[in-house]
Every structure is written in C-alpha cells, then in structure tokens.
Amino acid sequence: MSIRELREKFEQERAEKQEQGILLTFEGVEGYDVYNTSVPFMYEGKEYIFGRVERRNEWATSTVCLFSKKAEDVWERVKDTMMYQLEDPFVVRINGELVLGGTRVDFSRGKLSGFCGVFYKGTNLFNLYYFTTGPQQMKDIRYVQLPDGKLGVFSRPRGEEIRKKYGSEAVIGFTVLNSINELDADVVERATAIEGVFGRDEWGGCYQCLLLENGKIGVIGHGCYNEFDGTINQLVYTNIAFVFDPETFQVSDLKMIGTRKSYPTGEGKKPNLADCAFTSGIVKRDDGRYDLYSGVGDTAEGRVIIENPFPAKIKE
C-alpha cells in the first residue's frame, strides 16, 4: 500500500481512534518559530528538548537551541547554552554518551551550496563537542546501539541515480559498525539500501530507531509525496512507523501513525508546507501509551498520544 493510500485510510479512521493533538509552547525565543525538535530526554533529573529556531519569513538560517521543561507542553530556552548552526535536531545515547545530530546547510557566496549531517557527542549536555560529518547532500542519518554493542546506522541516499534504480526520490539504507568511532561519510555512503518502504515518486527517512524485544528494530520516520491541489504542488509529509529486521533486511508492519490533521490547525511557513507533519519521534508515557512528537508546517511542534506502533514491545 502506498504512502498516499495509508494516509487516506488513516484519516478515515483517525476520528474514532486518535485523540486530537496539541502544539508545544516555547518561551525565551520571542519572534521566532520553534519546530522539528528532538524528542524530550532526561539529563541529571531534568527534562530537555532541542528545537530548531528560525524566523517565520526566513529560510535556511536555523539554529538549534536547548530548552528545559517548565510545565506540561511548555518549554523555556536554557540561557547561556550553545546555539548550533543546524536544522532538525535529534538526540540518542550511545555507550553512555549523548549524541546530538542535525542538518547543516552550507552556502557559498551567499547561495545555497549543499547540506550534510553533522554530529556532536559527550557526557556533558552543556559541553558537547563536534565529532563527525556525514555525506554531502544527505539528511536524516540515524543510529541505534544494537544488543551486541555494535552500532546500527540508517542512511538516506537520494538523487537521480536513486530515482532511476528504485523509482523513489530517496530511500533508507542500513549498515552496522563496530562502534560509533567508525562513523564517517564514507561508511554511511556505503550503507545498503532497504527496499520496499517507499513506492514510485515517494520518499522519506528514518528519525528514530528503537530496539524491540523480538530483536528487530522499530523505526519512526516520515513518508512523503507530492500532491497538486489545483493551485499548489503540496509537499505531503506524514508520520510513519515500520519494523526492520537487520538480519534479513526485510521491512514489515509499515503503518501511518500521524498526519497534519492529527495536530491543531496553523499557518505553514510556505503555502506548499500546509500539509507537512515532520516526524520527531515517540516517548513512552506513564500510562503505557506513547507521545508522538512532530513538526507541523515548518512553524510549530505538535504532540499527539498514540499506542505502541509496533507488534512487539519496545525494549527499555
């Protein structure tokens, strides 16, 4: 079933099965939007989140800032902390270290010249250091520590060669490293493509990888396609989940877990982003369900409650 078909089926059933989401509030950055955040995470007894910060009428000028939880769905800027020249941050823990990643947009003589993934790590949240950079023209590199201590790395190759070979604008790749110290652009570039996730003219990426109790990997990501609404070619971004078996390279249980309609209405950064739900990831709640976080319209960050999207339990 295509991403478009999954979306249509999901939205037909959503009113009966999914609670209406909310939008997060961010303080200390007045005049700026905060969106496409990391998922919330704990550090020394406090809850934090990294967010992409940018003025509404600007593009590719983002910084990533750290926020601490002030109240339910209210976050405030942590003063005197690093501002990273990145977009779309994520945070994972690998071997006891915090790893922060995001997309760096490069310019040459004032014009966009490319982009790549950039990664920082360390044991002190307030003093993370630059670690490595991914391949040029590749976003959405994510990783997960495997049960044997090795590192599973998901890539996202894209371009005309990918389109010719797979029919999709971008696909997801996977490789295994002995440790995070082996992570660089070359090994990510050589990751093997995972087939069967996206159909013709669809694309997407992996945003959060979670070990499941059955030994497989649960992936939270986004699935996308273009849709012409009569006047504008809309970029449709949706929240998806699927299961990946690193032994067989098989994908199963691909499903839609959220769309733009899952969150409150609001203005998009551009007219063609009105139907954009840019996945951040999920966090387990005290009641056993999960909070799904997602950027919406490149202007805000939303949260909606969902059930475990995978057939197996997520390993804690």
In tens, the pLDDT along 82-113 reads: 999 999 999 999 999 999 999 999 999 988 89
Sheet containing 87-94: which strands, arranged edge to edge? 87-94, 97-108, 111-122, 129-133
Contact 248, 195 (CB under 8 A): no
Q: What's the pLDDT tens digit per position in 45-64?
A: 999 999 999 999 999 999 99
User: Cβ contacts of residue 214 below 8 Å, gap of 6+?
Assistant: 312
Euclidean distance between CA atoms 24 and 1, whole angstroms: 32
> Which residue pairs, CB below 8 angstroms and at least 24 apart, start in 81-84?
81/126, 82/126, 82/128, 83/53, 84/120
Instruction: Name the strand (E) or helix (H) holding 244.
Output: strand 233-245
So what's the pLDDT on residue 16?
66
Report CA dihedral (269, 113, 62, 190) to the nearest 10 degrees.
Answer: 100
Give which of 202, 216, 204, 199 is closest to 172, Cα–Cα: 204
Contact 254, 25 (CB under 8 A): no
Contact 28, 77 (CB under 8 A): yes
Q: What's the pLDDT tens digit per position in 116-140?
A: 999 999 999 999 999 999 999 999 9
Euclidean distance between CA atoms 214 and 196, whole angstroms: 21
Euclidean distance between CA atoms 92 and 121, whole angstroms: 9
Write down the mean pLDDT value for the chain: 95
Task: Enter the tokens of residue 300.
Answer: 């805000």
∠ CA(286), CA(290), CA(293), 5° rounding?
Answer: 125
Task: Specify whether the backbone of 73 is left (phi greater than 0), alpha (psi in -120 to 50) or beta.
Answer: left
Q: What's the pLDDT tens digit per position in 159-216?
A: 888 999 998 889 999 999 999 999 999 999 999 999 989 999 999 999 999 999 999 9
Terminal alpha carbon distance of the chain: 31
So what's the pLDDT on residue 15?
62
Give which of 292, 281, 207 is closest to 18, Cα–Cα: 292
So what's the pLDDT on residue 40?
98
Report CA dihedral (232, 161, 141, 221) to the nearest 10 degrees.
Answer: 50
Place of tokens 């630059």: 130
Indicate the pLDDT class of residue 230, thresholds 50, 70 and 90: confident
Average pLDDT, stretch 280-295? 97
- The answer on pLDDT for 277 being more than 70 is yes
Contact 51, 67 (CB under 8 A): yes
Euclidean distance between CA atoms 225 and 244, whole angstroms: 22
So what's the pLDDT on residue 316?
87
